[in-house]
Amino acid sequence: MNPILLAMAGAGAGAILGSFFATLILRWPEGRALDGRSRCDGCGRALVAWELVPLASTLMQGMRCRTCRARIDPLHFRVELACACIGGLALVLSPLPAALGWAVLGWMLLTLAILDARHFWLPDKLTLPLAATGLCVAPWVTGVPWEDAGIGAVAGYGSLMLISLGYRALRGREGLGMGDAKLLGAIGAWMGWQALPVVVTLAACAGLVWAGWFALRRGGVTAHTMVPLGTFLAVAAIPGWLASQWLFAFPSH
C-alpha cells in the first residue's frame, strides 16, 4: 500500500482511539463511568456528533465549550495527537500485521505513562493485559522468541518485586509500587529479557533528570518525594529495545 495512505489510516485510527484513552485518563481515576455519553466538564451539556471529531472539533471550538466557554482540558487534544502520531508511524515503519502490535503497544504505554505521571497509578486492568498480549504476539512484532519473552516477563516483574519487598523490609514503608513491577514485566514480555537492563538504565537516567528539575523548582527532594517510575519505564521501553537491538547486533569476542 501507499505509505501516505498507510500513515493516514494509522493516524486516523490513533486519533479515534486517543479520544477514548484521553477520556479514560481523565475519568477512570476519579471513579467516573467510561461508557456514558460525552459531556462538557463545565456545564454538563451532552456533546453532539460534530463535537466529538478527534482533534478537529477541539480546534474548531477554540479549545472551549461553545455553550459555557469553559476550557476543554488540553489533555484531550494532546493524547489524540500523540496516538495519531503513534498509529501513523507504526504503519509506515513496520509491515502489517506487526505494525498493529507496535501501535497497540505505543498506545498502551502512552496511557500508562500519563496515568502514572498524573496519579501515580498503573492499573492491573492495563498492565496485565499488556503483558499477556506481549507473551502472545512478541515473536511476530518485536521478533523476540517465546522463551525470551517469558524470561523477560518473569525477570522484569521479579526484579522490581524483590526491590520493593527489600525496601519495605529495611525502611518499614512502601518505596516501590507493584504496578511498576508489573509494567516492567509487561515490557519484558514484549521486548525480551535482553532489553530490560537498557530500559531500566534509560528510565533511571530520566528519573534523575526529573528529580533534578523537581529540586530546582521545589527547592529540593526528600525521601518522601514521589517519583513516577512507571512513566519513565514506559517512555524508555521502545528506545531501550532499539538500543538493545543495536548492542546485541555486534558479535562478542
Maximum pairwise Cα distance, the chain: 69
Among the candidates 93, 112, 132, a domain finishes at: 93
DSSP 3-state of 127: helix
110 in any annotated domain: no
Structural domain count of the chain: 2
Q: State whether 88 and 151 are in the same domain.
A: no
Q: State whether 135 and 249 are in the same domain.
A: yes
Q: State whether 248 and 151 are in the same domain.
A: yes
Are the beta carbons of 116 and 231 closer than 8 angstroms?
A: yes
Q: State whether 82 and 191 are in the same domain.
A: no
Those residues whose C-beta lies under 8 Å from the C-beta of residue 113, and which sit 6 or more positions away, are: 230, 231, 234, 235
Residue 223 DSSP one-character state: T
Cell numbers placing 42: 463545565
Among the candidates 93, 112, 147, a domain finishes at: 93
Look at residue 220 in the predicted model and tell me its pLDDT: 77
State how far the Cα of 14 lies from the Cα of 85, in Å rounded to an integer. Answer: 7
The pTM of the full predicted model, rounded to 2 decimals, is: 0.92
109 in any annotated domain: no
144 in any annotated domain: yes
Mean pLDDT per 10-residue section of the chain, whose length is 253 residues: 88 95 92 75 79 87 86 92 97 93 98 97 97 96 95 97 90 86 98 96 94 85 85 97 82 45
The phi, psi pair for 168, rounded to 5°, reads: -65, -40
Look at residue 252 in the predicted model and tell me its pLDDT: 44
99 in any annotated domain: no
Structural domain of 3 = 1-93
168 in any annotated domain: yes
